[in-house]
């Protein structure tokens, strides 16, 4: 039950008879009259319970995109209902409006559409739909909440997909190169083709040339071997969802940057024919994608990532080598998406690295804060000089940890939030080109 | 399915995979709410009844007032009253002036009226009305007003020593011999015929004078009558003799109901003013319900943790500043500068400090000592010096960058 402003106004209007008559009975009579009218209104109002709610809702949406949420309300009661309907979306679902005026004759159905522009990753829900129906006098209303769970999964935005075409083009250029461009054990023999000027003479396959005659001139022609990058390598991405990943850099949590990098790398690697596995880990496995390929891989990745937020606990690096071992026993490219801060907090990472580098190629990717670099340059007054000193100190710490990581045989990729995903993709391409996968 | 209003019946529900249908109602029905609330309503009613009953019972129970006839506490006078009752004295303990006068008027000649006005409630006119009906009036520790109204010849004379002997020929006082726990002294005009006991040199704790309507006795102590002290010395003898002289005793302690009403001024308000105030209250309650009624349950959302990455940086900077760690701060700046200078000069990462200083000096043409002092040796003497050194470092960097840039 609810009352309207008209009820309050009507009650306040009782001042007129009260002053005019000046007897307590006038006031009592007025209050009783208003209550009776409200009661009558309540009885005459259509039932807010006799409705059926249907939702038409897409299951997923990328962060930053807009979708339409349809709410179909069927009036199952005997009377028409007039009033308001509220679809209780969570605030971060970014609903354009959550309340709609409602007017449905008995037995009919109306649709209400809301546009949702979620501004936070994860699962956004609306548990109930509340309906308030007014009586003909608009004094009182009936109200009921109907359980109508609706949920929409907000996926990471994958803004870095704009870098994908250029990186795929680089990847294609690796195909069909001769050994002058690519040397290493990791490359595979691909095919034979005719010699063109500029090819390395060392890659001429003399036996094949001897067997072959030029179809046009009839004379002998030279044939060179071509190579292509290895396929079916393994890429294991470990994302740190611990305490340090909650920090925001450029209004983006570190873990979101890690997701962006992981998505770009996975898209690239799966096109290049490699297997990508993902683990999101702090002290326990928060999310895991294993054995997925092609389009399925990307959708499973974003689905897994979407609800996971960092937790305020320390990352357990000692469990990571075992985790990687459980995923693959082969040599793999292990990408650790974490943060390189200070020697103190990186101790766990540094302790676990030797076990990983012994068998795998390891890349540590970390977001750097552009404001730190900027702070070193601002030295106008005393406060800023001290700030610059602190920033220099922080950069020195990062440099020391990076050096230690490199000494342990792993690779370091750092960058600002916008630059890290393409930087990691480039590192992958470079590793692939040199056959170190 | 169209998004526009349709006329299809409810049975024609669509069968699309992403459509969820529900008509389960979360809000309980009114009668369910009433049934659930019944227990609590009953509980509250029962508790209210209990509290009200308790209050009513407590109100009629023994009082804790000083010298009250029903007070069994140390400061009460129940012991005295009970003994008097056993001796055959009819005791009445009125709490209002009207009933006190009525009680006295029932047997005006054989009644002793005892007045103890602790809070000086009665006015002079009320006291006069009282004294006009009483033939035997005993006033305990009267106030100035009471003395003026009842016995104008008696006046207060300060505090009495706690023990005193009778020293007079008044019967009960002689019987008592001596008292302990006396309070006040009174003085009598010498031209008035009076009986004075328990005192000396014109100041006494018990004074009897003949008033216009009967005797007035002023007793300067409440302590001797209390349950606690009545058994000491001759207290009981005096009290029983004084109050048991007549067959009837009216033990009157004025209450605030006797206080005259405060006069109210101004024009009388119209009758509808309180009604309008009541209506206003009702409107406020209705408006509160109108605005306060929630349109469905509150939506809960788990918020992510927000940690700003530069917090450690800011914290460290403030720590440096607070501790005035100038050398420390300058060292950090120098290490960063040296790193960049080494890169600019194309030196390997393992280059020593001297290598860098030498390379920078040769690139900029500055003297070796000056470069070395700026990059290594100089210690800042104050914050101004620190800022200057930091500026110099930045300038040096710029200079080297300019010198090493391929032209």
User: What pLDDT shows up at residue B183?
Assistant: 80
Residues B251 and B352 in one domain: no
Q: Is A394 on the interface with B (CB under 8 A)?
A: yes
- Contact of A362 with A356, CB cutoff 8 Å: yes
Closest partner residue to A310 (CB to CB) among B23, B289, B305 is B305
Q: How far is B347 from chain A (nearest CA, A)?
A: 17
How many other C-beta atoms lie within 10 A of the C-beta of residue A324? 24
The secondary structure of chain B, three-state, reads CCCCCECCCCCCCCCCCCEEEECEECCCCHHHHHHHHHHHHHHHHHHHHHHHHHHHHHHCCCCCCCCCCCCCCCCCCHHHHHHHHHCCCEEECCCCHHHHHHHHHHCCCCEEEEECCCCCCCCHHHHHHHHHHCCEEEEECCCHHHHHHHCCCEEEEEECCCEEECCCCCHHHHHHCEEECCCEEEEECCCCCEEEEEEECCEEEEEEEECCCCEEEEECCCHHHCCCCCCCCCHHHHHHHHHCCCCEEEEECCCHHHCCCCCCCCCCCCCHHHHHHHHHHHHHHHHHHHHHCCCCCCCCCCCCCCEECCHHHHHHHHHHHHHCCHHHHHHHHHHHHHHHHHHHCCCCCCCCHHHHHHHHHHHHCCCHHHHHHHHHHCCCCCHHHHHHHHHHHHHHHHHHHHHHCCC
User: What pLDDT shows up at residue B209?
Assistant: 87
What percent of chain B is predicted at pLDDT more than 90?
Answer: 24
Handedness of CA A322, A323, A327, A330 (dihedral sign): negative
Residues B82 and B188 in one domain: yes
CA distance A93 to A151: 10
Q: Average pLDDT of B94-111?
A: 86
| CB within 8 Å: A89 and B296 | no
Q: Which residue has the tokens 């000649």?
A: B109
- Contact of A168 with A268, CB cutoff 8 Å: yes
| CB within 8 Å: B295 and A310 | no
- Contact of A83 with A133, CB cutoff 8 Å: yes
Q: Is A78 on the interface with B (CB under 8 A)?
A: no
Closest partner residue to A249 (CB to CB) among B4, B295, B309 is B309
CA-angle at A271, arms to A269 and A276, nearest 5°:
35
CA distance A213 to B164: 154
| CB within 8 Å: A86 and B295 | yes
Residues in B closer than 8 angstroms to A366, CB to CB, are: none
Q: Is A47 on the interface with B (CB under 8 A)?
A: no
User: What pLDDT shows up at residue A334?
Assistant: 96
- Contact of A87 with A70, CB cutoff 8 Å: no
Yes or no: domain A1-155 corresponds to CATH 3.30.1490.110: no
Residues B139 and B252 in one domain: yes
Structure tokens at A181: 């461009």
Best to test chain B binding among A131, A153, A389 (most B CBs inside 10 Å):
A389
Between helix A24-44 and helix B272-292 the angle, nearest 10°, is 20
pLDDT band at B241 (very low <50, low <70, confident <90, very high): confident
Q: Is A90 on the interface with B (CB under 8 A)?
A: yes
Q: How far is B356 from chain A (nearest CA, A)?
A: 18
The residue of chain A with its CA nearest to that of B383 is A382
Q: Phi and psi (nearest 5°) for A423? A: -65, -40
Q: Average pLDDT of A396-424?
A: 94
User: What pLDDT shows up at residue A34?
Assistant: 95
Best to test chain B binding among A393, A394, A403 (most B CBs inside 10 Å):
A393
ipTM score: 0.74
Closest partner residue to A3 (CB to CB) among B278, B289, B330 is B289
Structure tokens at B30: 């009114």
Q: Is A7 on the interface with B (CB under 8 A)?
A: yes
Instruction: Give the count of domains, chain B.
Output: 2
Residues B374 and B241 in one domain: no
Residues in A closer than 8 angstroms to B330, CB to CB, are: 389
CA-angle at A267, arms to A261 and A272, nearest 5°:
125
Q: How far is B300 from chain A (nearest CA, A)?
A: 7
Q: Is A344 on the interface with B (CB under 8 A)?
A: no
In a domain, B406, yes or no: no
In a domain, B241, yes or no: yes
Paired sense of beta strands B163-165 and B178-180, if any: antiparallel
Paired sense of beta strands B215-219 and B136-140, if any: parallel
With 0-12 CB in 10 A as exposed, 13-18 as middle and 19+ as buried, what is A231?
A: exposed
Structure tokens at A12: 């306040």
Residues B130 and B245 in one domain: yes
The residue of chain A with its CA nearest to that of B331 is A389
pLDDT tens-place string over residues A166-188: 999 888 877 655 444 444 444 56
The residue among B212, B238, B257 that closes a domain is B257
In the predicted structure, residue B253 carries a pLDDT above the cut 60: yes
| CB within 8 Å: B279 and A309 | no
Residues B95 and B242 in one domain: yes
In the predicted structure, residue B122 carries a pLDDT above the cut 90: no
CA distance A4 to A133: 11
Closest partner residue to A393 (CB to CB) among B5, B297, B332 is B332
Residues B242 and B111 in one domain: yes
- The CATH number linked to B186 is 3.40.50
In the predicted structure, residue A367 carries a pLDDT above the cut 70: yes
Residues in A closer than 8 angstroms to B316, CB to CB, are: 390, 393-394
How many whole angstroms from its chain centre is CA A358?
A: 32
User: What pLDDT shows up at residue B266?
Assistant: 67
| CB within 8 Å: A149 and B20 | yes
User: What pLDDT shows up at residue B12?
Assistant: 35
Closest partner residue to B333 (CB to CB) among A15, A126, A392 is A392
| CB within 8 Å: A387 and B270 | no
Q: Average pLDDT of A409-417?
A: 93
> Average pLDDT over chain A, rounded to whole?
89
Q: Which of residues 239-278 of A touch B (CB under 8 A)?
A: 246-249, 253-254
Inter-chain contacts counted by CB atoms under 8 A, chains A and B: 233
B386 or B167, higher pLDDT: B386
CA distance A223 to A96: 66
- Contact of A103 with A81, CB cutoff 8 Å: yes
Handedness of CA B58, B60, B65, B70 (dihedral sign): negative
Q: How far is A237 from chain B (nearest CA, A)?
A: 23
Residues B247 and B326 in one domain: no
> Average pLDDT over chain B, rounded to whole?
84
Q: Is A53 on the interface with B (CB under 8 A)?
A: yes
The residue of chain B with its CA nearest to that of A49 is B25
| CB within 8 Å: B330 and A389 | yes
Best to test chain B binding among A2, A343, A385 (most B CBs inside 10 Å):
A385
pLDDT tens-place string over residues A95-146: 998 899 999 999 999 999 999 999 989 999 998 999 999 999 999 999 999 9
User: What pLDDT shows up at residue A288?
Assistant: 94
Range of the structural domain that residue B362 is part of: 318-401
**Among candidate residues A39, A21, A13, A7, the one with its CA nearest the CA of residue B279:** A13
User: What pLDDT shows up at residue A184?
Assistant: 42
CA distance B291 to A2: 9
Q: With the CA atoms of B163, B168, B170 and B174 taken in that order, what torsion angle do they form, in degrees rounded to the nearest 10? A: 60
| CB within 8 Å: B295 and A4 | no
**Among candidate residues B64, B67, B389, the one with its CA nearest the CA of residue B224:** B67
What percent of chain A is predicted at pLDDT more than 70?
Answer: 94
Q: Is A26 on the interface with B (CB under 8 A)?
A: yes
Same fold for the pair A1-155 and A232-433? no
Q: Which residue has the tokens 């028409």?
A: A80
Best to test chain A binding among B4, B18, B24, B295 (most A CBs inside 10 Å):
B295
Closest partner residue to A27 (CB to CB) among B27, B275, B386 is B275
Q: How far is A107 from chain B (nearest CA, A)?
A: 6
pLDDT band at A223 (very low <50, low <70, confident <90, very high): confident
pLDDT tens-place string over residues B339-391: 999 988 888 888 899 999 999 999 888 999 999 999 988 899 999 999 999 99
CA distance B224 to B196: 17
The residue of chain A with its CA nearest to that of B13 is A54
pLDDT tens-place string over residues B54-101: 888 876 666 778 888 888 888 888 888 899 899 888 888 888 888 888
Q: How far is A194 from chain B (nearest CA, A)?
A: 44
User: What pLDDT shows up at residue A187?
Assistant: 57
Q: How far is B2 from chain A (nearest CA, A)?
A: 8
pLDDT tens-place string over residues A53-94: 999 999 999 998 999 999 999 999 999 999 999 999 999 999
Yes or no: domain A232-433 corresponds to CATH 1.20.1050.90: no
| CB within 8 Å: A11 and B313 | no
Sheet holding A252-253, edge to edge: A252-253, A247-249, B307-308
Closest partner residue to B296 (CB to CB) among A24, A128, A248 is A128
User: What pLDDT shows up at residue B19?
Assistant: 63
User: What pLDDT shows up at residue B5?
Assistant: 39
Return all residues near A5 (Cβ < 8 A) that are at least 6 apart. Answer: B290
Domain range annotation of chain A:
1-155, 176-228, 232-433
pLDDT tens-place string over residues A346-357: 999 999 999 999
Structure tokens at A437: 């996968």
Residues in B closer than 8 angstroms to A246, CB to CB, are: 304-307
Which of A152-156, A367-371, B69-73, B319-323 is predicted with the least confidence, judged by mean pLDDT? Answer: B69-73
Residues B209 and B326 in one domain: no
């Amino acid at each position: 039950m609810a009352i309207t402003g008209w009820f309050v106004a009507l009650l306040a209007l009782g001042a007129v008879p009260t002053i005019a008559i000046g007897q307590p009975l006038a006031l009592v009579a007025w209050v009783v009259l208003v209550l009776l009218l409200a009661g009558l209104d309540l009885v005459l109002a259509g039932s807010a319970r006799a409705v059926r709610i249907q939702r038409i809702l897409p299951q997923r949406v990328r962060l930053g995109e807009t979708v339409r949420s349809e709410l179909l309300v069927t009036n199952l009661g005997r009377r028409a209902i007039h009033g308001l309907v509220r679809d209780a979306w969570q605030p971060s679902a970014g609903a354009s409006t959550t309340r709609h005026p409602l007017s449905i004759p008995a037995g009919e159905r109306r649709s209400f559409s809301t546009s949702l522009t979620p501004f936070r990753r994860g699962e956004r829900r609306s548990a109930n739909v509340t309906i308030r129906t007014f009586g003909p006098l608009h004094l009182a209303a009936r109200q009921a909440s109907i359980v109508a769970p609706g949920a929409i999964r907000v996926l990471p935005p994958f803004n870095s997909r704009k870098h994908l075409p250029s990186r795929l083009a680089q990847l294609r250029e690796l195909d069909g190169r001769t050994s002058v461009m690519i040397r290493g054990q990791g490359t595979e023999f691909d095919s034979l083709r005719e010699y063109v000027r500029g090819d390395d003479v060392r890659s001429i396959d003399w036996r094949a040339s001897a067997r072959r005659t030029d179809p046009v001139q009839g004379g002998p022609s030279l044939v060179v071997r071509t190579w292509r990058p290895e396929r079916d390598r393994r890429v294991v991405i470990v994302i740190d969802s611990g305490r340090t990943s909650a920090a925001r850099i450029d209004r983006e949590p570190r873990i979101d940057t890690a997701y962006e990098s992981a998505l770009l790398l996975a898209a690239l690697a799966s096109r290049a024919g490699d297997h990508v596995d993902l683990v999101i880990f702090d002290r326990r496995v928060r999310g895991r994608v294993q054995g997925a390929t092609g389009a399925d891989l990307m959708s499973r990745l974003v689905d897994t990532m979407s609800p996971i937020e960092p937790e305020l606990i320390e990352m357990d690096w000692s469990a990571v080598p075992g985790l990687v071992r459980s995923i693959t026993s082969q040599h793999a490219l292990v990408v650790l998406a974490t943060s390189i801060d200070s020697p103190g907090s990186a101790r766990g990472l540094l302790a676990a690295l030797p076990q990983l580098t012994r068998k795998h190629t390891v890349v540590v990717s970390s977001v750097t804060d552009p404001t730190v670099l900027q702070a070193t340059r601002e030295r106008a007054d005393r406060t800023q000089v001290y700030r610059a000193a602190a920033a220099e100190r922080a950069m020195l710490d990062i440099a020391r940890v990076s050096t230690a990581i490199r000494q342990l045989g792993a690779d370091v990729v750092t960058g600002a939030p916008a630059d890290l995903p393409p930087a990691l993709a480039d590192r992958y391409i470079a590793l692939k080109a040199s056959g170190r996968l | 399915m169209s998004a526009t209003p349709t006329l299809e019946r409810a049975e024609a529900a669509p069968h699309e995979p992403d459509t969820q249908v529900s008509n389960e109602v979360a809000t309980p029905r009114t009668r369910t709410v009433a049934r659930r609330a019944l227990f609590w309503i009953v509980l509250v009613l029962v508790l209210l009844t209990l509290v009200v009953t308790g209050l009513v019972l407590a109100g009629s129970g023994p009082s804790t007032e000083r010298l009250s006839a029903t007070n069994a506490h140390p400061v009460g006078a129940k012991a005295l009253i009970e003994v008097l009752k056993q001796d055959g004295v009819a005791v009445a303990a009125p709490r209002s002036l009207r009933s006190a006068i009525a009680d006295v008027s029932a047997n005006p000649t054989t009644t002793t009226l005892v007045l103890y006005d602790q809070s000086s409630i009665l006015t002079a006119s009320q006291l006069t009305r009282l004294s006009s009906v009483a033939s035997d009036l005993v006033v305990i520790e009267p106030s100035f007003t009471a003395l003026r109204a009842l016995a104008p010849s008696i006046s207060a004379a300060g505090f009495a020593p706690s023990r005193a002997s009778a020293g007079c020929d008044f019967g009960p006082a002689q019987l008592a011999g001596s008292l302990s726990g006396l309070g006040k002294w009174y003085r009598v005009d010498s031209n008035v015929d009076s009986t004075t006991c328990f005192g000396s040199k014109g100041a006494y704790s018990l004074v009897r004078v003949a008033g216009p309507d009967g005797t007035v006795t002023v007793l300067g102590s409440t302590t001797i009558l209390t349950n606690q002290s009545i058994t000491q010395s001759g207290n009981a003898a005096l009290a029983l003799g004084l109050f048991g002289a007549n067959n009837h005793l009216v033990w009157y302690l004025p209450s605030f109901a006797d206080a005259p009403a405060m006069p109210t001024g101004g024009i009388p308000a119209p009758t509808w003013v309180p009604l309008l105030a009541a209506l206003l209250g009702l409107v406020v309650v209705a408006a509160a319900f109108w605005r306060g009624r929630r349109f469905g349950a509150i939506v809960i959302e788990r918020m992510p943790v927000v940690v700003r990455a530069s917090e450690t940086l800011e914290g460290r900077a403030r720590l440096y500043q607070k501790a005035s760690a100038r050398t420390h701060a300058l060292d950090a700046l120098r290490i960063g500068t040296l790193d960049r200078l080494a890169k600019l000069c194309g030196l390997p990462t393992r280059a020593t400090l001297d290598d860098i200083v030498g390379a920078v000096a040769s690139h900029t043409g500055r003297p070796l000592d000056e470069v070395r002092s700026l990059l290594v040796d100089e210690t800042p003497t104050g914050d101004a010096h620190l800022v200057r050194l930091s500026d110099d470092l930045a300038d040096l960097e710029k200079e080297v960058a300019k010198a090493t840039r391929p032209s």
